[in-house]
A and B are shown apart, each in its own frame.
Chain A
Amino acid sequence: MLRPVLILLLSLAWSSSGPGSSGVSENSRGHGRPRFSETPLLPGPEVRGKVIGLSFNDFAAFGLTDAGEIFWTRDSVRWEVVDFNEAYRGYYQPVRFVGIAAGKGSVAIVGTYEKTGAPAMFVSSRGNVWTERGLTYSQGEELFELTETPLSVRADLERDEFVITCTDGVLFFVPPCSHCNRKEYHGSD
């Protein structure tokens, strides 16, 4: 994780001290202006994927990449990164994630299991340890599993629950209570 920080700082150091460097570039008319690379940048997280989601709560700012990396920072300087599928290889099935949401005291990531395409949701309080959240719901006295594909997730802070937007016009509500998930259909028909 620190390599990119070093690389970034090193690059900053070297870019500011490169041969013949005057810190100023000249355009074709000879007018100087500061180089973009001299603008002080805070180091970012070392991730290989493309960022597909960002969310914030009282604890940290969280992000998600399309490579299944979750990253977060509490001070914009130090970044933590967890490559979910790598960290949990052999313990959770690989997941293709689509969204992240930070709520009260926890952050959620949703997606689908790569092998089966079934919906998946995981939660964490601080980013380092991830717990699977079951996506069952009651209908009458029977329990069912969510089958629709998650598209995104958001945190409803007022109701203290996560809301997963799924295919087929389905909204899936995930409150703190483990067996109180609700599935609602909000299609146009």
Chain B
Amino acid sequence: MNPKRFLGILTLAAALAAVFLLTASKPSADRKSKSATPIYLNTSYSFEERAADLVSRFTLEEKQSLLGNSMAAVPRLGIKAYNVWSEALHGVLSGANPSVGIQGPTSFPNSVATGSSWDPELLRREASMIADEARAIFQTGTKGLTFWSPVVEPIRDPRWGRTGESFGEDPFLSARMASGYVRGLMGDDPKYMKAVPTAKHYFANNSEFNRHVGSADMDSRDMREFYLYPYKELIENDALPSIMTAYSAVNHVPVSASEFLLDRVARRTYGMKGYVTGDCAAIEDIYTGHYYVETAEEATAEGLTAGVDTDCGSVYQRYAISALEQGLITMADIDRALVNMFTVRMRTGEFDPEPMVPYTLMPPSTVNSERSRALAMEVATRTPVLLKNENVPGTSDKALPIDLSKVKRIALIGPQADKVELGPYSGRPEESSRISPYKAISEYITDKGLDIEVTVASGASTKSKSNLLYIGYFETVKADGTVRRYDATQYTASSEGITVGSGMGDEEQVRSIDDGSWTAYANVDLVDVEQLTVGANIPTEGGIIEAHVDSPDGNLVCTIEATRASGKRAGGVYGTSTPMTEKVLKLGINDLRTLYLVYKAPEDDEIDPAIIDDAAAADVAVVFVGTDENTATEEADRLTLFLPGNQLKLIQAVAAANKNTIVFMQTLGCVEVEEFRNLASIPGIIWTGYNGQAQGTAAAKVLFGDVNPGGKLNATWFKTVGDLPHITDYTLRGGAGKNGRTLWYFDKPVSYEFGYGLSYTTFDYSNFRISKSAITPDDKIVISVDVTNSGGVDGDEVVQVYMTTPDAPAALQRPIKRLKGFQRVTVPAGQTKTVDICIDCSDLWFWDMDADRMTFDQGRYVFEVGSSSKDIRGTVTATMSGRLTPALKTVVADCGRSVLRAGETLMTNVTACLNDDSFISLADAKVEYTSNNPSVVAVGKDGRIVANAMGVATVTAKVTYNGTVASGSYAVKVMPELTLNSLKVDGKSVLKPGANQYSVVRKAGAAPVVTATAADPSLDVVVKQADAVPGTAVIRVIDYITGDEADYYVGFGTKAVSDEFKALGKQWEIVREDKAAWSVQNGALTVVTGEGDVTLTNNNARNIFVQSANTDWTAETKLSTSAVPGNPAQNAGLIAYADDDNFVKLVYAAPAFGRGMPMAAPGAAPAGSIQLVAEEGGYNKATVSVSLADIPVKDNTVWLRLVKSGSGYTAYYSVDGKKFTKAGEASVLLKDVKAGLVACEGVRAAMGGRGGFAMPQAQPAQPSPLKVAFDWFHIK
């Protein structure tokens, strides 16, 4: 044959072999189940069962790609891409999408505004409308249905940059308002959710500047009573299906890494069923912000094991597989997260036929419909709070409502007069829907046909005087061109309040820069410096940077105007520094000095006198002022509570010019008002939060009396920011020179108290009563009051009920009062309405830090009923006695995995929590387990489950305690067994159920052909044929979905040959031969033991005599040793050998020491042992040791017998050659087995070595080598 052609044929053969191997490694991605409908699409199964089935079908890479908020499409399973992250705080966060017929979604009043409505039912209607719009948008395939709203964080500190997103400072109010939102968004279908709310940010994430690195430190009272309260209420009462973990830590553990807070509290105490998302980059913050762990894989593990199911970011999606490979997580951790996520997706009906889901028929016209716009307007009219309504000086007329019959000219002044400020997390409604106050008032007057002139002028700015700049570095440039850079964050001194951080950006910067703040840098070389460059980021408007020497007031050497107004680029809160350069006044400085960078807000613009003249000429001047995105936002808290910019000056200037000045504020929360609120020339003040797209119309209606404002403040308005503790102080109770926080603990005078709000009418309260005067925590009571509208116009009143426990010991530091009930009622003029407020006494709990559960003060409970937290109109009292009757509340059951393999068994883990948030011991309860599909998963009385067959099942644990019953359940998917359906050798079946190794005796030569099929058609089978006889065919059953594999061996062997050792037979092969250490003489094979063994990593035993024995056999030998085998581990005997890491050996050996093994008695004759040792893949699989201490061994002679049947090995020994005793068994899958003899010194097992051999407890003297004589070797 032509050599070249021969080479070509060889190449072709190699290619064919490559095809075989490559085929084996490629997943059969298109394999489909033959059943009609896969379980995950079968609506007769529960959502959780379906989710477990679906998750079991994903490959590992698919699973990883589904762990982030952008969930990949998986076409082979019909799974669409999905973005978990959508927002709908006060309207769907989206804009118009004309390509799919969607207009800009409706923008309702923001949370800070709706919180002041004190109307949960109104918020429920709003959220329901938002969800309708969300459904219409979802139908276009452009957005998901999981919304990371509402914010339920109580406003612990009004400087918090996201105060505008919160419902209020009181947990009870926040919980009730959020309840309306949650119920509205979810809808009331018993099976499907209209949209999915996520309460955030769990929890105590109440300061922006340090949210990625800070820790909210608190005791368990503040934690349970204040911060966690809204979540508890929403989960327990409204089945809240999701929470979002905050960036920050609580008590120095990142919340995203806290199994206690996520699993123990949220799931097992409160009972949350649903999914947990991290805030965007919260998982990343675990290792880059908090440095809680070091690597991305560790952060992934912390998040997943704590219970964060999805990562808004890409840490999970990049590192979950490597975390798995590193053993930091298990597949069960990944599966659990995905089951939680897909269960929620299924609850929206995404995987069900559209006719089954009631929410699928929302047409695009639902968005920005007339109904929706009308509701936005209605909500906007119910949020304004009337803060002041005095007589216009010199008249007997109230300032409000404005009597248009007496007005010829209205001046609208202020930066919000002709602006629509929607606030944070706003979508982009249609321009035509955005109504400014000027537009609305003008239209109102025109519609009424009134001859009134309306003028409008801004007159002021909202430029913030805080958070002016972020400074990264500064550079000095000398005359000779030398540049030296200084890290601005490495200041040697600073003014109070300065912080350092990078926020969501990469660059560390000086932050929290207020007007007048400074940072100092010692030993700055200013010799011959001509220029100064400062790397500054302008988050909003910017400021002036003055460089002084020696002190903040020292010589000024340089001024840099770092403002947008001067043309500098604004970087936003995430931006990096931009260099800004100015010349330096040398001033004869020729040495190292301390350089001070002093930061100043730009000078306010002067108020235009023409505007003041216009105000003076008007019959009424309405000043529209407020806050906006430049005041505070994500990453940026307020540093001051003043109105931003020169708005205060504007108010004062207008008030000085016009005695009938109305101030209309729209802000994110409380502002300081002491400078103007008592001015007589300001007889009227109205406040709203960011009031949505219809804010202008609502303002007009309120100003002119179409609507009687009925809102109440949802937070305390402090007189000054100085009343507040440091923003990083998360404790609530005051003391040690520090004020307490919120209406609970702040006891100083305020501008306006929590719950404050006036009306155009007046309300009288009378006839206070309580349904029970002796109460227990188990009771439900009703507090009733008659409310009379004693004024001239219809109006709404919010009746508020506050609770105190005056008999509580002072040391307990109970709150001054807590809100525990409220109701907003409409009372027509002149009428009286009875208001009944139901209070569940179990809600009046405090937290017992020692007992770690709820507790109830005994004695008097005083219920204050009033129009605000200070305007108490009457009280009723009850006396509390007794404890809350224990009742089961939350039972959680799981087995730790969602996907099992047939044949596996696991225990069910159950926790049971009572209504006082404490856990019981299950030993004190009765627990009954059931499975809804025992043929798939059976469960025993002890909770042990057995996976029987492929399918899904739900296991339920029903707990009975103290006469109360609660259940918890979990779904499990059982994967098909990796078993064979057929196994043939040359077409003849050899299959034996349960066997994984087969033996076939053949003559040496070509190997028979093996064929096999798997029991389940979804599995793949790969057969690697034996090369020859002797040889082994390997059959591998592969589940490409789970990655599980099972191997089956068919060993082809020739008959092994016995040896009487008259001479060494040719059938022997000697591993690591040492010729000097063995011989055949006197009818025996004699081996002198040498150093080494084959156990664990010690693969160095010499003179191992082996012969091919790749079948089933029984091998025996008689051996005699020159002495009792001694330490460290002399041993000699039979071996079934594949290689040094895969073998079974049965030996007469030195005594084995360690736990459970008898020590030799002092002075007693040494005794050996019989040991059976098995290794597979280098790891110890079995060790059996039988001491011969009580068995006389004559002449150190023993008989050993090793029986191989498939993968099973049974060991026997005898001391007389007649009676054999079983020593033990092992099961090891060995390929190309050889049988033979071994004799070696052995090695002492190392500490921590793999396999776990018994450890010798003494260091005996080194014995002489053994001389081992094998009399014969029989094998059949």
CB pair B284–A176 under 8 Å, yes or no, is yes
Q: List, in ascending order, chain B residues with CB within 8 A of A88's CB.
A: 73, 75
CB pair A130–B572 under 8 Å, yes or no, is no
Q: Which of A2, A6, A105 contacts B318 (CB 8 A)?
A: A105
CB pair A2–B22 under 8 Å, yes or no, is yes
- Name A's interface SS: loop
Taken together as a complex, chains A and B put the C-alpha atoms of A182 and B505 apart, in Å, by: 10
CB pair B81–A177 under 8 Å, yes or no, is no
With an 8 A cutoff between CB atoms, is A157 at the interface? no
Chain B residues 401 to 446 lying within 8 A of chain A, measured CB to CB, are 423-426, 428
Chain B residues 304 to 323 lying within 8 A of chain A, measured CB to CB, are 312-315, 317-319, 321-322
With an 8 A cutoff between CB atoms, is B70 at the interface? yes
With an 8 A cutoff between CB atoms, is A87 at the interface? yes
Taken together as a complex, chains A and B put the C-alpha atoms of A14 and B4 apart, in Å, by: 9
CB pair A142–B15 under 8 Å, yes or no, is no
Q: Which residue of B lies closest to A124 (CB)?
A: B65
With an 8 A cutoff between CB atoms, is B237 at the interface? no
Which of B5-13, B468-476, B945-953, B1155-1163 sits within the interface?
B5-13
Q: List, in ascending order, chain A residues with CB within 8 A of B73's CB.
A: 88, 91-92, 130
Q: Which of A90, A116, A133 contacts B99 (CB 8 A)?
A: A116
CB pair B314–A134 under 8 Å, yes or no, is no
Q: List, in ascending order, chain A residues with CB within 8 A of B280's CB.
A: 177-180
With an 8 A cutoff between CB atoms, is A126 at the interface? yes
Q: Which of A10, A105, A126 contacts B15 (CB 8 A)?
A: A10
Q: What is the 8 Å Cβ interface bit string for chain A, positions 136-154, against chain B (1 contact, 0 not)?
A: 0011111100000000000
Q: List, in ascending order, chain B residues with CB within 8 A of A10's CB.
A: 12, 15
With an 8 A cutoff between CB atoms, is B93 at the interface? yes
Q: List, in ascending order, chain B residues with CB within 8 A of A114's CB.
A: none
CB distance from A36 to the nearest CB of B (A): 17
- Knowing A179-B280, A180-B574 are in contact, say whether A106-B70 is a contact too (CB < 8 A): no
Chain B residues 30 to 62 lying within 8 A of chain A, measured CB to CB, are 59, 61-62
- Knowing A91-B73, A134-B83, A178-B280 are in contact, say whether A125-B15 is a contact too (CB < 8 A): no
Taken together as a complex, chains A and B put the C-alpha atoms of A176 and B300 apart, in Å, by: 13
With an 8 A cutoff between CB atoms, is A25 at the interface? no
CB pair A5–B7 under 8 Å, yes or no, is no
- Knowing A132-B81, A177-B504 are in contact, say whether A126-B18 is a contact too (CB < 8 A): no
With an 8 A cutoff between CB atoms, is B1063 at the interface? no
- Knowing A90-B75, A92-B81, A116-B99 are in contact, say whether A177-B572 is a contact too (CB < 8 A): no
Taken together as a complex, chains A and B put the C-alpha atoms of A18 and B75 apart, in Å, by: 45
CB distance from B686 to the nearest CB of A (A): 24
CB pair B312–A128 under 8 Å, yes or no, is no
Q: Which of A9, A16, A105, A179 contacts B296 (CB 8 A)?
A: A105
Taken together as a complex, chains A and B put the C-alpha atoms of A142 and B572 apart, in Å, by: 12
CB pair A104–B318 under 8 Å, yes or no, is yes
CB distance from A184 to the nearest CB of B (A): 8
With an 8 A cutoff between CB atoms, is A52 at the interface? no
CB distance from A179 to the nearest CB of B (A): 5
Chain A residues 139 to 176 lying within 8 A of chain B, measured CB to CB, are 139-143, 159, 176
Q: What is the 8 Å Cβ interface bit string for chain A, positions 91-122, against chain B (1 contact, 0 not)?
A: 11000000000001110000000001000000
Q: List, in ascending order, chain B residues with CB within 8 A of A16's CB.
A: 4, 7-8, 11
Q: List, in ascending order, chain A residues with CB within 8 A of B19's CB.
A: 2, 6
CB pair A91–B75 under 8 Å, yes or no, is yes
Taken together as a complex, chains A and B put the C-alpha atoms of A184 and B23 apart, in Å, by: 48
With an 8 A cutoff between CB atoms, is A21 at the interface? yes
Q: List, in ascending order, chain B residues with CB within 8 A of A138's CB.
A: 572, 574
Q: List, in ascending order, chain A residues with CB within 8 A of B2's CB.
A: 17
Q: List, in ascending order, chain A residues with CB within 8 A of B423's CB.
A: 141
CB pair B9–A128 under 8 Å, yes or no, is no
CB pair B314–A106 under 8 Å, yes or no, is yes
Q: List, in ascending order, chain B residues with CB within 8 A of A9's CB.
A: 11-12, 14-15, 18
With an 8 A cutoff between CB atoms, is B688 at the interface? no
CB pair A140–B574 under 8 Å, yes or no, is no
With an 8 A cutoff between CB atoms, is A13 at the interface? yes
Q: Which of B4, B70, B574 contacts A17 (CB 8 A)?
A: B4
With an 8 A cutoff between CB atoms, is A129 at the interface? yes
Taken together as a complex, chains A and B put the C-alpha atoms of A16 and B18 apart, in Å, by: 19
With an 8 A cutoff between CB atoms, is A64 at the interface? no
Q: Which of B11, B65, B314, B425 contacts A176 (CB 8 A)?
A: B314
CB distance from B224 to the nearest CB of A (A): 31
CB distance from B364 to the nearest CB of A (A): 18
CB pair B317–A106 under 8 Å, yes or no, is yes
Q: Which residue of B lies closest to A126 (CB)?
A: B61
Q: List, in ascending order, chain A residues with CB within 8 A of B332's CB.
A: none
CB pair B425–A141 under 8 Å, yes or no, is yes
Taken together as a complex, chains A and B put the C-alpha atoms of A7 and B4 apart, in Å, by: 18
CB pair A176–B75 under 8 Å, yes or no, is no
CB distance from B67 to the nearest CB of A (A): 10
With an 8 A cutoff between CB atoms, is B72 at the interface? yes
CB pair B4–A21 under 8 Å, yes or no, is yes
Q: List, in ascending order, chain B residues with CB within 8 A of A78's CB.
A: 22
CB pair B317–A125 under 8 Å, yes or no, is yes
With an 8 A cutoff between CB atoms, is B1006 at the interface? no
With an 8 A cutoff between CB atoms, is B281 at the interface? yes
Q: Which of A91, A123, A176 contacts B81 (CB 8 A)?
A: A91
With an 8 A cutoff between CB atoms, is A44 at the interface? no
CB pair A132–B75 under 8 Å, yes or no, is no
CB distance from A32 to the nearest CB of B (A): 15
Taken together as a complex, chains A and B put the C-alpha atoms of A13 and B75 apart, in Å, by: 39
Taken together as a complex, chains A and B put the C-alpha atoms of A140 and B319 apart, in Å, by: 32
Taken together as a complex, chains A and B put the C-alpha atoms of A113 and B428 apart, in Å, by: 24
CB pair B313–A12 under 8 Å, yes or no, is no
Q: Which of A87, A123, A125 contacts B321 (CB 8 A)?
A: A125
CB distance from B303 to the nearest CB of A (A): 13
Q: List, in ascending order, chain B residues with CB within 8 A of A178's CB.
A: 68-70, 85, 280-281, 312-314
Taken together as a complex, chains A and B put the C-alpha atoms of A177 and B575 apart, in Å, by: 15
Q: List, in ascending order, chain B residues with CB within 8 A of A53's CB.
A: none
- Knowing A91-B81, A179-B85 are in contact, say whether A13-B72 is a contact too (CB < 8 A): no
CB pair B8–A125 under 8 Å, yes or no, is no
Q: Which of B65, B281, B284, B424 contacts A125 (CB 8 A)?
A: B65
Taken together as a complex, chains A and B put the C-alpha atoms of A87 and B23 apart, in Å, by: 20
Interface-centre pick from B5, B280, B284, B318 (highest chain A CB count, 10 A): B318
Q: List, in ascending order, chain A residues with CB within 8 A of B74's CB.
A: 129
Q: Which residue of A lies closest to B506 (CB)?
A: A159
Chain A residues 1 to 53 lying within 8 A of chain B, measured CB to CB, are 2, 5-6, 9-10, 12-14, 16-18, 21, 23
Q: List, in ascending order, chain A residues with CB within 8 A of B530's CB.
A: none
Interface-centre pick from A13, A104, A128 (highest chain B CB count, 10 A): A13
With an 8 A cutoff between CB atoms, is A131 at the interface? yes
With an 8 A cutoff between CB atoms, is B71 at the interface? yes
Taken together as a complex, chains A and B put the C-alpha atoms of A23 and B982 apart, in Å, by: 49
Taken together as a complex, chains A and B put the C-alpha atoms of A162 and B80 apart, in Å, by: 25
Q: What is the 8 Å Cβ interface bit string for chain B, positions 559-576, against chain A (1 contact, 0 not)?
A: 000000000000010110
Q: Which residue of A lies closest to B62 (CB)?
A: A129
Q: List, in ascending order, chain B residues with CB within 8 A of A179's CB.
A: 85, 280, 312
CB pair A177–B313 under 8 Å, yes or no, is yes
CB pair A131–B75 under 8 Å, yes or no, is no
CB pair B8–A176 under 8 Å, yes or no, is no
Q: Which residue of B lies closest to A156 (CB)?
A: B506
Chain B residues 613 to 635 lying within 8 A of chain A, measured CB to CB, are 629, 633
With an 8 A cutoff between CB atoms, is B64 at the interface? yes
Taken together as a complex, chains A and B put the C-alpha atoms of A66 and B714 apart, in Å, by: 58
Q: What is the 8 Å Cβ interface bit string for chain B, positions 315-352, against chain A (1 contact, 0 not)?
A: 10111011000000000000000000000000000000
15 more CB-based (< 8 A) A-B contacts, given A9-B15, A21-B4, A178-B312: A2-B22, A17-B8, A105-B314, A106-B314, A125-B65, A129-B61, A133-B70, A138-B574, A141-B425, A141-B426, A141-B633, A176-B318, A179-B85, A180-B281, A182-B572
Task: Please name 11 pairs of A and B residues whose Cβ atoms are closer than 8 Å in the assembled complex, sorted by A.
Answer: A9-B14, A17-B2, A105-B318, A123-B317, A125-B64, A129-B61, A131-B65, A132-B83, A134-B83, A139-B572, A177-B284
Q: Which 4 A-B pairs have the closest CB atoms?
A: A105-B318, A17-B8, A13-B8, A177-B281
